[in-house]
Every structure is written in structure tokens, then in C-alpha cells.
Structure 1
Amino acid sequence: MDWLGYLIPLAPFALGGLWIWTRHQSKMIDKEKELLLLGKKGPQNKDGQQMNEDMKYLKERVATLEKIVTDERGARELESEIAKLRDS
């Protein structure tokens, strides 16, 4: 029973830590809800809209570059250019 005498003074610290942890968890849940709502609504400011437009543009550019790289004719031309450079 001597160990109980050591635990009683630590109880306020344990309860304080529990209170801080539960408050933090509550705030995290609120932030997650807020982010989910923003995701459904889309960007509300000009920066977010501009970022979405830039992202669409970049995705189109990447798709075009992928077509060029994977094009059979382009690969043959690239190989012939590399061969010419080696011969020079």
C-alpha cells in the first residue's frame, strides 16, 4: 500500500495531461471537419482557383509530353539523332 502514497501526488498531473490531450483531440476533429467542408466546396479564394487552373494546365502538358515520348515515330527519330551525334 506504500505505492499508493506515491501515486496520490501525481494524480493532478495525470488529470491535467488527460485534459490537455482530450482538448487537443477535440481541436483535431474540428480541423478535420473544416478541411472536409473546404474540400467539398472547393477553393474560396483567388489563389486556390488559380492553383487549380495551373494544375489543369500542367496535367495537360504532362499528358502531351507523355504522348511525345511514347510515340513510336518519335522514338525512332530520337534514336537516329542520337546515332548521328555519336558518329560526329
Structure 2
Amino acid sequence: MSFAGPSFIIAIIAISTLGWMFTTWVRARHGYPVENEWAGTVHRNDPDADRKIALLTGENEKLHGRIGHLEERIAVLERIATDPATRTAREIEALR
């Protein structure tokens, strides 16, 4: 193999170009920002991302409310379990 000919230079350029194309493809496929030829970055745009974020935010608020309600119920149960028996019995009868 001769390293002095133009075919060696063309091979180096081809290998470099294919390597650049492969790394760009991998970055784009996995959602990383890709640099364009003018040193800017191109971010992946997902039109459903805003809708998904809104749905998850709503679900998160709903779950926080449920957790707060469950914490209140647990506090009541802990108070009933630790109070003296006579007081607890009176409160249970008052609730009936």
C-alpha cells in the first residue's frame, strides 16, 4: 500500500466523514443536541413533549393531594393507637 498517492488522502477523508456521520446519527438518535455546520446546536423537537409534561404535572398534583390525605388519616390512626383506651372508646362511640 502506497501512502504517497491521492487514494490514501481520499481514504482518510472518507473514513473521517463516515465517522462524523455515525457519531452525529448516534447523538441524534439518543436525543443529544447535534451541532450543525455553523457551530450552532440543533435540539430535538418533540411535539408531544409539552402534552406529556402537562399530563404528568397534573397527575403529580393529584398524587400529592392523595398523599396529604393519607398522611392525615395515618396521623389520626396513630393518635387513636397511642391514646388511653377510655378516651379512645369515647371518641369512637361519639363518631357512631
TM range (shorter): 0.3 to 0.5
Highest RCO, 1 vs 2 (Cα 8 Å, sep ≥ 6): 2
Higher strand share: 2
Larger Rg: 2
